[in-house]
Amino acid sequence: TSKDLSTQMYSDTLTWQDYFEQNAVESLKQNKALMAEAKAAGFTYDTTDEYNTFKETIKTSAASAGISEKEYVRSIYGSYATMGRIEEYVKNDMVMNAYYQKLQEDNAPSDDEIQSYYEENKATYDSVDYRLTTIEADLPTEPTELADPVEETAADTTGTTDGTAATDSTQDTAYQPSDAEIAKAMEDAKVLADDAEKTVAKDGEAHENEKKSSVNYLISDWLFDDARKAGDTTVITNDNSHCYYAVAFEKRYLDETPSADVRVIIPTEDKTGEEILEEWKSGAATEDSFAELCKKYTQDTSAVENGGLFEQVTKTGMTEELSNWIFDNSRQAGDTVAITVSDTAYVLYYIGQDQPEWKINIKNTLVSDTMSQHMQDITADVTVEDPKGKLNYLKVQAEESAAAETATAETQEITEEQTAATEETATQAQ
């Protein structure tokens, strides 16, 4: 980024400057189309509270960076940016995001649609329990009787051509076994793997609740085969790593572990988690009062408006300390705790269980697909005009389109000539 982007190639035909400009224009097309649709639908959204939060975020961020608000705005939004100049765009963005969120909610799939999608894609969402023993081939580290023959050179027998002693140039290089040596080692390992298969159901390393995407690809198809039943075993070869896998299938199932709804406060430096928790306990000690403390004390500005509410959180991607508390089987609505993880403090309020992770993932997939298609539909007729000719990527696209049309025309012409020639030959034959 320290160099001129227009001089660095992103692809064979586009520079990085072209690439970023193309992305910017595509975003503009979507934003303009979405705003136009929101306006036509009569959608309104009061940006007052969100914009005030935005201004407060700018203020605190500038203070943290040790610069003025004007300098901070310029550093983020460009050298000509001021709060006054960006206000309209920021508020439009808030309206657009609110409308987009409404569309997502309106297009949320039903439980029947989620179940139907699961039935068609079970292998993606199911989990398996299995046991695994890995048997590695004992490859030789020095030549054996099966090693490839080595041709001796003059230097090997008499030294170098200048009379000095020859040096073994391969002495620091690991020995590479011959194909025959590898085959023999794999043959021996197969005997051990076959023996391991007999005991893998008892002695193999236990693997629990693993999705197909996280299972070794060489054994995943076998494990997720619909014909698989408890007690099945097999030996699978890994030629690339020169080993065998002895595998025992235990069970396949849909993990119904529920997600959870919680409120979270990440305290500022002025307060500790324990102090905030004591203040909450000495007050009304309700969920609403916890939400008010979040607005007062959390450093997570994005969570201020909703009182630190996080819905449908799952174990995936969560730290062990937080996960262990949230998903403890004894957890009850209204439970609270102050936890510190890697020097970051958290104050948690447990609301209750929510839908299982698999349902959330399918819902997100279906909504994402629907919204992606919707954005394609509303931007299909949007045109981009570049009267000053400053968008080079449009020129590149035009040239590529023209070249493609020429190639198509030439191919069609050749095809027509070949057809005509074939018909003429057939006529002569008659």
63-72, 158-167, 188-197, 342-351: lowest mean pLDDT where? 158-167
Per-residue pLDDT band at 168 (split at 50, 70, 90)? low
pLDDT above 90 (res 270): no
- Asked if residue 106 lies in contact with residue 181, where contact means CB atoms within 8 angstroms, the answer is no
Residue 337 lies in a domain: yes
CA distance 272 to 19: 46
Q: For residues 265 and 340, state if they share a domain.
A: yes
Same domain, 134 and 249: yes
The pLDDT of residue 299 is 81
Q: Give the model confidence (pLDDT) of 358-399 as tens digits.
A: 999 999 999 999 999 999 999 999 999 999 999 999 999 999
Nearest to 370 by CA among 111, 95, 106: 106
Q: Is residue 428 assigned to a domain?
A: no
The reported pLDDT for the residue numbered 214 is 94
Which pLDDT band holds residue 125 (cuts at 50, 70, 90)?
Answer: very high
More confident residue, 269 or 262: 262
Percent of the chain at pLDDT > 70 equals 94
Of the candidates 398, 407, 404, 395, the one whose C-alpha atom is nearest the C-alpha of residue 21 is 395
Average pLDDT score, the chain: 91
| CA distances from residue 315 to 50, 281, 312, 327 in whole angstroms, order as listed | 30, 28, 10, 8
Say if 107 falls within a structural domain: no
Nearest CA to 244 out of 186, 199, 203, 201 is that of 186
Scored b (16 or more CB within 10 A) or e, 73-101 reads beeeeeeebeeeebeeebbebbbbebbbe
pLDDT, position 415? 78
Q: Which pLDDT value is given to residue 403?
A: 87
Separation between Cα atoms, residue 44 and residue 313, nearest integer Å: 30
pLDDT of residue 8: 97
Q: Are residues 227 and 285 in the same domain?
A: no
Percentage of the chain lying above the pLDDT 90 cut: 77
Number of structural domains the chain divides into:
2
Q: Specify the amino acid at residue 281.
A: K
pLDDT per residue over 314-367, tens digit each? 988 789 999 999 999 999 999 999 999 988 899 999 999 999 999 999 999 999
Asked whether residue 188 falls in the same domain as residue 224, the answer is yes
- Cα–Cα distance for residue pair 154/322, rounded to 1 Å: 69
Is the model's pLDDT at 153 over the cut of 80?
no
Give the H or E element holding residue 406: helix 392-429
Count the residues in the chain: 430
Residue 320 counted as domain residue: yes
**263 with 330, same domain?**
yes
Nearest to 263 by CA among 226, 222, 230, 304: 304
What are the CB-based long-range contacts (under 8 Å, 24+) for 18-27? 18/392, 18/393, 18/396, 19/393, 21/391, 21/392, 21/393, 22/391, 22/393, 25/384, 25/391
Q: What is the model's pTM?
A: 0.77
- Residues 306 and 137: their CA atoms lie apart, in Å, by 58
Question: Does 230 lie in the same domain as 132?
Answer: yes
Lowest mean pLDDT among 74-88, 163-177, 185-199: 163-177
Cα–Cα distance measured from residue 14 to residue 11, given in angstroms and rounded to the nearest whole number: 5
Q: In what order do the strands lie in the sheet with 127-136?
A: 205-211, 127-136, 243-253, 233-238
Does residue 311 share a domain with residue 334?
yes
Whether residues 285 and 188 fall in one domain = no
Please report the pLDDT score of residue 317 as a whole number.
77
CA distance to 52, 79, 82, per residue, from 72 (Å): 17, 10, 10
Domain that holds residue 206: 127-141+176-253
Q: How confident is the model at residue 283, as a pLDDT? A: 94
Final residue before a domain boundary, out of 213, 231, 253: 253
Domain boundary among 199, 223, 253: 253
| Domain boundary residue, one of 334, 361, 388 | 361
Same domain, 192 and 239: yes
Is the domain of 136 the same as that of 245? Answer: yes
> What confidence score (pLDDT) does residue 151 get?
73
Mean pLDDT of 136-149: 92
Give 165's pLDDT tier (boundaries 50, 70, 90). very low
Residues 240 and 274 in one domain: no
Taking alpha carbons only, the member of 342, 305, 348 closest to residue 325 is 348
Q: Is residue 242 part of a domain?
A: yes
Question: If we measure between CA atoms, which residue out of 176, 192, 204, 185 comes closest to residue 242?
Answer: 185
Half-sphere exposure of 355 (CA within 13 A, CB side): 13
Consecutive H or E run containing 312: strand 309-313
Q: Mark whether 233 and 280 lie in a shared domain.
A: no
Q: Average pLDDT for residues 84-108, to the nearest whole number?
A: 95
Nearest-angstrom CA–CA distance, 255 and 355: 11
Q: What's the rounded Cα separation, in Å, for the pair 398 and 75?
A: 35
In a domain? residue 235: yes
Judged by average pLDDT, the poorest of 41-45, 102-106, 411-415 is 411-415
Confidence grade of residue 429 (pLDDT, cut at 50, 70, 90) = low
HSE at residue 143, side-chain half, CA atoms within 13 A, is 5
With respect to residue 228, please indicate whether it lies within any of the assigned structural domains: yes
Tell whether 385 is covered by a domain: no
Instruction: Report the CATH number that the domain containing residue 355 is assigned in CATH.
Output: 3.10.50.40
